[in-house]
Structure 1
Amino acid sequence: MTVTTRAARRDRARPPKGRRIDDWRPEDPAFWTAGGARIARRNLVLSILTEHIGFSVWTLWSVLVLFLGPAYGIDAAGKFTLTAVPALIGAALRIPYTLAVARFGGRNWTIFSTALLLVPAVLAAFLIEPGVSFTTLLVLSAVAGVGGGNFASSMANINAFYPQRLKGRALGVNAGGGNLGVAVVQLAGLLVLATAGKDHPGLVAGVYIPLIVLAALGAARYMDNLTQARNDRHAMRDVCKDAHTWIMSVLYIGTFGSFIGFGFAFGQVLQVQFAADFDTPVKAAYLTFLGPALGSLLRPAGGWLADRLGGAAVTFWTFAAMAAAAGLVLTASLRGSLPLFLTGFVLLFAFSGVGNGSTYKMIPAIFRAKAQRGAARGGDPAAAAEHEARRLAGALIGIAGAVGAFGGVLVNIAFRQSFQAYGTGDGAYLAFIAFYAVCCALTWMAYLRTRPGRPAGV
């Protein structure tokens, strides 16, 4: 009895002073049930909160551009530029943010990256007013891009806390909770518009200042550093040589890039495309949160479907559905039908959310299938092959996340050019349909078509 009690105490996961954990064995069932699960859940909750706020700050300008009326002297093209810039900065920061977790510690980096969100929030709260130069607004929107990196570091951190059998669920909840920040910032904008009016854009950013402080303090109080976390730069180099890296990155542009790009652009598209119906920003704000909320909530459903039907099959049909939804939006635009337009756009958000989950599920499945095929042919032993598959899959998730976020830039550029050239978004909708068709073809040729060397079970 005494021996058992001592063993249980020895296996119990207790972070020492300074919130640093030197012994972390999530794959050990005894360790996990004796305290590891509790610590992982605590870190997951704080991770979701900080990532959620990061997404809200990142997409803050999707709301702020609705406040920039005639007094600011900015046309539609300029507003789409203001929403494209934070998307670009956020995409560029994702890989360094991924590496920062192992370099500085998950808790330490979460505290810093969350506190850093005060910079764009405070600047936007006090500097946006009629007469401000477009250059100043461009700088303010660029600074908001720091929120885009929080997703990458949050996912890398939580990935290290959970055993392999629970990673999918934990990462899905973490990602979905973060994505909801896109919808919540729209609601914050609606609240300000409905109470204070369109002349106080700084209040939208100001709402987040105390939340950022509380989240950073919460991370400092309750999160932990895992000292055995390491960056595998060789994995990044190795995975860049694999064709699947770039195929999956293109597919993630189509899913997550669409989600975040539409999140940035939707409110502005409504104001420009249907100016008579949305002559005030509050009218647009009433609708802009619906799509991002639905897309965020459906992300875990995409992973669930991928587990049961196969990630490639779900992704293929998701892109087919997105092409159909974009066709519906184009038809609505040509006919001037607002109800049809809203239906098509909400469907685009919903299917992009499903696709986010299914494409993320495909990545580990691809390398697991390759590892099993190599072991069956007499290559590395099964255990070693599985370890290699996890190493490469982790690196690919980081790269695909960064490239996929760049899709948000492409969406806003497409809208900018279309409205400049045609006065409507029709050119952009045609481009989306064509791109989703390309994604369908890529998915079928690489992962569904019967051919030698095709990864099975993806």
Structure 2
Amino acid sequence: MVTMMLITAMAVIASSDATMRATRERCSSFIGTESLSISPSGAVFHKQIHITLPGHRRTLKAYLQRITPDALLTLGADVVRIYRVTPRVRHPMSLAPQAHLSTSTNGYQPLVVVLLSPLAFALVFACWTLFAVLGMELKRTLGFDEFDFALLLATPMLTAALASLPQARLARWIGGRRVMLGCLLLICPFLWWISVAEHYLEFLLAGGGLGLGAGSLAAGLVYVAAWGPRGRIGLALGLYGAGTLGAGLSYWLLPLVSQAYGWRLAPRLYLLLVLLVALLLWLFAEDETGEETKPSSSDDSGSSSSRRRWRRWLAGLMPPTGWQLWRLALYYSFFYGAFVALALWLPSYLAAQYQLTLQQSALWALLFILAGGLGQILGGMLADWRDFRALRWWVSAWVLICLFLLSYPPFSIQIQGVHGEVAFSVSTPLWAFDSLLVLMGLAMGVGKGSLMRLIHRDHGDNMARVGGLALALGGLFAGVLPMVFVLGNEWIGIRSAGFMFLYGALVVCMLVMLWDHASGQS
């Protein structure tokens, strides 16, 4: 069902009117307009297989008589020749200030972007969650404590927080595809290092290197914003953000690989997958036109032009100013950071709280990841036709209720009754606990998807800086949370202290929203 929903959403984006027009122009330039017909689904037919639009009654037999083997061979040859000889003209994707990048008219590119960009981010996110599953094996092998384990989980996210804004700006300069390719290739040596590391410091440094892959998410936002269809940009961004489903790959695959072949094979398997996706991006994806970064020829000879250019570059790396931008980034940082931190922390929490094996805890945590990915797609779709400002209160209240219930630890009550003391204990069963996690993950996904659509709508011309800031704050929050969870367990002595902290953080965010709403009305 999940796969069918993803395929359906991708087909809706790829079959937009803009894609059909681009396909008609590309094909008619070679075949000729008199022999071309495009059906509502966007399929292209040669004159031997000419099918009229709906409204004319034709029998199935008449259609089949038109489809001959020679016609099919001719159609295949034409498609290959069209792809090879058609010039690729660049034009602005939108006249609105949401997209200053330019993209080509190739009709297949939106589908390529929708397919490969989330796949690249999903693999990077799967690499970030390597330690969430393998860390339990490493704890037994290397013998480090809970705080060392939390620091190992947090290191990729902290590095990602530092790299998000510069890499997002770099994607604006040289193109999102190039930055995504560079980030995928950059994490490959660190994946190999993890497979041969022996000491805790080596794992820590290699985990920090994996965080440099955050540019794939930051650059992907710029890339999808440039290529995505204007009417369904929320859905496109939601599909891209659903790359967090890559954590589900780790939860499902790594326990099996570790049990069958040993945990050291898992990073090498991910290395092969990353190289494969990088090859697909290099072969099929195209560069969008980035910002012009070179000075004009009249200014080349002066040193002042070089200083101005470097000042402009450095200014682009600075976080944006303005309370409205920081407010949106703050909202997004909670949903993104809390979701990622829980994705890293849940396998070990479930294993300790409910005495589960590694494979069992990973599979129960997988449901939370799936709900978050589907929620992000749903949030992007909703934000295409409804303002998130009205939706955010419902989403926040939903998450707040779930966190309140998840914060309650198992407890016992002893009551003095008529015939003596009456004692009973209360604890949340595993199925109920995971049901709350699924509901909360769905709401967090809706919040992330709709917020990213809102950022694109209001600040599409500055998507690199605003989106990079949101990802940087979210990565910082996600990196701090695992250590806060462990410290809360040590100081308070309750495993659910992490949910208590998230509950308090969300209350602060809702108070900020309330204050902003009141000040806006006044």
State the TM-score, normalizing by the size of structure 1.
0.80
Deviation at 1:63, TM superposition (A): 1.6
Counterparts of 1:163 and 1:235 in 2: how far apart (Å)?
Answer: 30
Q: Deviations over 1:216-241 (max 9, x none)?
A: 11111111112344588699589722
Deviation at 1:215, TM superposition (A): 1.0
Partner residue in 1 for 2:147: 77
Deviation at 1:248, TM superposition (A): 1.5
Partner residue in 2 for 1:201: 263
Letter in 1 for 2:452: Y
Q: Deviations over 1:247-284 (max 9, x none)?
A: 1122112111111111111112223334xx22x32232
Partner residue in 2 for 1:455: none
Letter in 2 for 1:363: I
Structure 2 matches for 1:330-409, cutoff 5 A? Answer: 330-334=407-411, 335-339=426-430, 340-365=432-457, 367=458, 389-392=459-462, 395-409=465-479
Q: Would you say the 8 A contact 1:55–1:179 is kept in 2? A: yes
Pick one of 306, 313, 320 that aligns with 1:240. 320
Deviation at 1:89, TM superposition (A): 0.8
Pick one of 246, 255, 259 that aligns with 2:339. 259
1:182 aligned onto 2:247: yes
Structure 2 matches for 1:300-311, cutoff 5 A? Answer: 300-311=377-388
Structure 2 matches for 1:270-349, cutoff 5 A? Answer: 270-274=350-354, 277-278=355-356, 280-334=357-411, 335-339=426-430, 340-349=432-441
Letter in 2 for 1:140: A
Deviation at 1:410, TM superposition (A): 2.5
Q: Would you say the 8 A contact 1:106–1:224 is kept in 2? A: no
Partner residue in 2 for 1:140: 206
Change (3 A) 1:33 1:117: closer
Deviation at 1:88, TM superposition (A): 0.7
Q: Deviations over 1:294-320 (max 9, x none)?
A: 101110212233344420222222121
Q: Would you say the 8 A contact 2:134–2:263 is kept in 1? A: yes
Change (3 A) 1:283 1:77: same
Q: Give secondary structure in 2 for the equivalent of 1:36.
A: coil
1:91 aligned onto 2:175: no
Partner residue in 2 for 1:430: 500
Q: What runs of 5+ residues in structure 2 fail to find an aligned partner? A: 1-23, 31-81, 96-101, 294-311, 412-425
Deviation at 1:329, TM superposition (A): 1.0
Q: Give secondary structure in 2 for the equivalent of 1:24.
A: strand
Structure 2 matches for 1:103-122, cutoff 5 A? Answer: 103-122=173-192
Between the aligned residues of both structures, percent identity stands at 21
Counterparts of 1:333 and 1:392 in 2: how far apart (Å)?
Answer: 48
Counterparts of 1:62 and 1:255 in 2: how far apart (Å)?
Answer: 19
Greater displacement, 165-174 / 19-28: 19-28
Partner residue in 1 for 2:288: 226
Kindly indicate which of the two structures has a greater share of residues assigned to helix. Answer: 1
Pick one of 407, 416, 419 that aligns with 2:489. 419
Partner residue in 2 for 1:191: 256
1:26 aligned onto 2:93: yes
Q: Give secondary structure in 2 for the equivalent of 1:97.
A: helix
Partner residue in 1 for 2:74: none
Deviation at 1:244, TM superposition (A): 1.2
Partner residue in 2 for 1:371: none
Deviation at 1:201, TM superposition (A): 1.8
Greater displacement, 102-111 / 81-90: 102-111
Q: What runs of 5+ residues in structure 1 fail to find an aligned partner? A: 368-388, 453-458
Pick one of 123, 126, 136 that aligns with 1:56. 126
Q: Deviations over 1:146-197 (max 9, x none)?
A: 2333111111112122353332222221221x1211211211123224534x
Q: Give secondary structure in 1 for the equivalent of 2:108.
A: helix
Q: Give secondary structure in 2 for the equivalent of 1:240.
A: coil
Counterparts of 1:410 and 1:123 in 2: how far apart (Å)?
Answer: 25
Change (3 A) 1:316 1:235: farther
1:151 aligned onto 2:231: no
Q: Would you say the 8 A contact 2:152–2:207 is kept in 1? A: yes
Q: Give the structure with higher Rg (CA).
A: 2
Q: Would you say the 8 A contact 1:90–1:145 is kept in 2? A: yes
Q: Deviations over 1:422-445 (max 9, x none)?
A: 333333222211111122222233
Counterparts of 1:423 and 1:193 in 2: how far apart (Å)?
Answer: 31
Q: Count the aligned residue pairs.
A: 409
1:45 aligned onto 2:107: no
